[in-house]
Amino acid sequence: MKLKFAPLTAALGLAAGMLISASAAAETIKIAVAGPFTGALTQYGTMVKEGVDTAIEQINAGGGVLGKQLEAVVVDDACEPKQGPVVANRIVNDGIHYVVGHVCSGATIAATSIYNDEGIVMVTPSATAPAVTDGKNFEFIFRTIGRDDQQGPAAAQFIIETIKPELVAILHDKQSYGQGIAAAVRSELEKAGINVAMFEGINAGDSDYSAVITKLKSSGADFVYYGGYHPEMGLLLRQGAEQGLDVTFMGPEGVGNPDINAIGGDSVEGMLVTLPADFTQDESNADIVKAFRDQGRDPGGAFQMTAYAATKAIADGIVGAGEDDPEKVAAYLRENSIETPIGTISWDEQGDLNSFKFDIFTWHKDGSKTVYQ
């Protein structure tokens, strides 16, 4: 039997429901986790979510923030720049004041002005392109990772001082992140007098890179740097090996993904990659590492610890501001340092970290990595 409600009764019921919903919403402080949760780069979103989830669980277990529990809200941008503004507007419309993300630089760049205009604090744990912050005069945008113009020179310095190649080829994926870091590496190599045989873009998502591999072979390069993400790097390594290309490849943190092993197979052995330092080796992080592993999460990926740090920065910023007010939180972060598992962090006037350490790792065919010796 269907129940019928008089209009006034229904209206009162609706009003009561709205009050209950508003009350329930006020009981938590929501943090959006914006990144790729569909598409070819979902594992990067998973890394960030694992860091956010672990941080929130620990913070909530300790009493939360100003008496409220934190709540993660996952929003998918598929790492596509055109989805950045869509996701940002959704977060604005949902009344969320804080964001960990976006993950990929292109989507991050496309979303930042919306967050800044709307007074939403955004902390990216992974977007390294300088264009995220350069010349923007943003007040609400921060990172918990270094920039490509820190990572690129670190890679180039390693190439110059340790590899000492005669001729280098540089490839990139024509996107903000990949092309930007490739250009930074080229600039530093050329300053040091290292010959760059070719600087060429490939199309992300292609399945056949035999033409560019042929160019690499004919260039005479004895070392290859690739700016981009792991799906393309995996194919370059595998198809290069199949065509007899016997050179060492190096890439940025975007290639340091265990999924590359399924794409590149044994050819990934010996790939070099710049990644954030392995913060799991810091004894002061033992409890945090255990918290990750107790939940079946890997704390040693590229972005888990930087995402944990981003979440803790937001939480500490709210506590420091004394209220859930993103304007005051942003001001607090700009004026103070925060203790995190990636160290004591502070920001410059652009929202970039004052310092960040990238290490060089050797990747192995079993999916593990070791600091380069």
Residue range 109-158, pLDDT digits in tens: 999 999 999 999 999 999 999 999 999 999 999 999 999 999 999 999 99
Give the pLDDT mean for 210-226: 97
Residue 23: pLDDT above 80? no
Q: How far, rounded to the nearest angstrom, does the alpha carbon of residue 279 sit from its chain's CA centroid?
A: 16
CATH fold for domain 149-270: Rossmann fold (3.40.50)
Domains 9-145+281-357 and 149-270 share a fold: yes
Mean pLDDT of the chain: 92
E strands within 125-251? Answer: 141-143, 167-172, 195-201, 223-227, 248-251
Taking only the tens place, the pLDDT of each residue in 266-322 is 999 999 999 999 999 999 999 999 999 999 999 999 999 999 999 999 999 999 999
pLDDT tens for each residue of 231-262 = 999 999 999 999 999 999 999 999 998 899 99
Taking residues 72-86, report their average pLDDT.
97
pTM of the complete model: 0.85
| Residue 22: pLDDT over 80 | no
| Number of DSSP helices (H) and strands (E) in the chain, helices first | 12, 14
pLDDT at 26 over 70: no
332: pLDDT confidence band, cut at 50, 70 and 90? very high
User: How much is the pLDDT for 24?
Assistant: 42
Residue 31: pLDDT over 90: yes
Confidence class of residue 14 from pLDDT cuts 50, 70 and 90? very low
Element (H, E) at 124: strand 121-124
| Residue where the block lists tokens 């942003």 | 330
| Mean pLDDT, rounded, for 215-241 | 97
CATH annotation of 9-145+281-357: 3.40.50.2300
Mean pLDDT, residues 81-99: 98
Report yes or no: 272 and 362 within 8 Å, Cβ to Cβ.
yes
Name the pLDDT band for 27 (thresholds 50, 70, 90): confident
Crossing angle of helices 83-93/105-118, nearest 10°? 30
% of the chain residues with pLDDT over 70: 93
The pLDDT, as a whole number, for residue 191 is 96
Residue that wins the pLDDT comparison between 356 and 18:
356
> What are the structural domain ranges in the chain?
9-145+281-357, 149-270
- Model confidence pLDDT, tens digit, residues 155-188: 999 999 999 999 999 999 999 899 999 999 999 9
Q: Which of 61, 53, 47 is nearest to 31 (CA)?
A: 53
- Whether the CA torsion 52, 258, 102, 183 is positive or negative: it is positive
On the question of pLDDT at 2 being above 90, the answer is no
- Give residue 362's pLDDT band: very low, low, confident or very high (50, 70, 90): very high
Cα–Cα distance measured from residue 365 to residue 373, given in angstroms and rounded to the nearest whole number: 17
- Binned at pLDDT 50, 70 and 90, residue 373 comes out as confident
